[in-house]
Structure 1
Amino acid sequence: MHTDLVAALDIGGTKIAGALVDGQGRILVRTQRATPAQEDGETVMRAVEAVLGELAAGPLWGRATALGIGSAGPVDASAGTVSPVNVPGWRDYPLVRRVRAVTGGLPVELIGDGVAITAAEHWQGAARGHDNALCMVVSTGVGGGLVLNGRLHPGPTGNAGHIGHISVDLDGDPCPCGGRGCVERLASGPNIARRAIEAGWLPGPDGDTSAEAVAAAARAGDPVAVASFERAAQALAAGIAATANLVEIDIAVVGGGVAKAGDVLFTPLHKALGDYATLSFVQRLTVTPAQMGTDAGLVGAAAAALARRPDATAAGV
Structure 2
Amino acid sequence: MHTDLVAALDIGGTKIAGALVDGQGGILVRAQRATPAQEDGDTVMGAVEEVLRELTASPLWSRARALGIGSAGPVDASAGTVSPVNVPGWRGYPLVERVRAATGDLPVELIGDGVAITAAEHWQGAARGHDNALCMVVSTGVGGGLVLNGQLHPGPTGNAGHIGHISVDIDGDPCPCGSRGCVERIASGPNIARRALENGWQPGPDGDTSAAAVAAAARAGDAVALASFERAAQALAAGIAATATLVEIDIAVIGGGVGKAGDVLFAPLRAALKDYATLSFVQRLTVTPAQMGTDAGLVGSAAAALARRPSVTSA
**Shorter-chain-normalised TM-score: which range?**
over 0.9
Structure 2 vs 1, CA of residues 263 and 149 (structure 1 numbering), >3 Å: closer, same or farther? same
Question: 1:2 Cα shift?
Answer: 7.6
Structure 2 vs 1, CA of residues 310 and 259 (structure 1 numbering), >3 Å: closer, same or farther? closer
* Structure-1 separation of matches of 2:169 and 2:68: 36
Q: Quick check: 1:196–1:225 contact (8 Å CA) kept in 2?
A: yes
Aligned to 1:258: 258
Question: 1:205 Cα shift?
Answer: 1.2
* Structure-2 separation of matches of 1:312 and 1:18: 18
Aligned to 1:52: 52
- Which amino acid is 2:280 matched to? S
Aligned to 1:279: 279
Question: 1:206 Cα shift?
Answer: 1.0
What TM-score comes out, normalization by structure 2 length? 0.98
Q: Quick check: 1:215–1:261 contact (8 Å CA) kept in 2?
A: yes
Question: 1:312 Cα shift?
Answer: 5.7
What TM-score comes out, normalization by structure 1 length? 0.98
Could you report, residue by residue, the CA deviation over 1:81-134 in whole angstroms, capped at 9, with x for unpaired residues? 000000111000000000001100100000000000000000000000000000
SS at match of 2:180: coil
Q: Quick check: 2:32–2:51 contact (8 Å CA) kept in 1?
A: yes
Aligned to 1:207: 207
* Structure-2 separation of matches of 1:256 and 1:310: 30
Aligned 1:115-264 pairs, distance under 5 A: 115-264=115-264
- Which amino acid is 2:276 matched to? Y
* Structure-2 separation of matches of 1:303 and 1:66: 11
* Structure-2 separation of matches of 1:216 and 1:288: 20
* Structure-1 separation of matches of 2:313 and 2:66: 13
Aligned to 1:18: 18
Question: 1:158 Cα shift?
Answer: 0.2
Name the count of aligned residue pairs.
Answer: 314
Q: Quick check: 1:307–1:313 contact (8 Å CA) kept in 2?
A: no
- Which amino acid is 1:231 matched to? R
Question: 1:313 Cα shift?
Answer: 4.7
Could you report, residue by residue, the CA deviation over 1:237-281 in whole angstroms, capped at 9, with x for unpaired residues? 000000000000000000000011100000000000011001000
Question: 1:3 Cα shift?
Answer: 2.0
Could you report, residue by residue, the CA deviation over 1:111-166 in whole angstroms, capped at 9, with x for unpaired residues? 00000000000000000000000000000000000000000000000000000000
Question: 1:310 Cα shift?
Answer: 3.7
Aligned to 1:100: 100
* Structure-2 separation of matches of 1:59 and 1:311: 21
Q: Quick check: 2:65–2:312 contact (8 Å CA) kept in 1?
A: no
* Structure-2 separation of matches of 1:131 and 1:220: 38
Could you report, residue by residue, the CA deviation over 1:36-78 in whole angstroms, capped at 9, with x for unpaired residues? 1111001111110000000000100000000000000000000
Could you report, residue by residue, the CA deviation over 1:153-189 in whole angstroms, capped at 9, with x for unpaired residues? 0000000000000000111101010000000000000
* Structure-2 separation of matches of 1:217 and 1:169: 26
* Structure-1 separation of matches of 2:117 and 2:281: 26
Mind listing any 5+ residue stretches in structure 1 that lack a counterpart? none
Q: Quick check: 1:36–1:43 contact (8 Å CA) kept in 2?
A: yes
* Structure-2 separation of matches of 1:304 and 1:260: 25
Mind listing any 5+ residue stretches in structure 2 that lack a counterpart? none
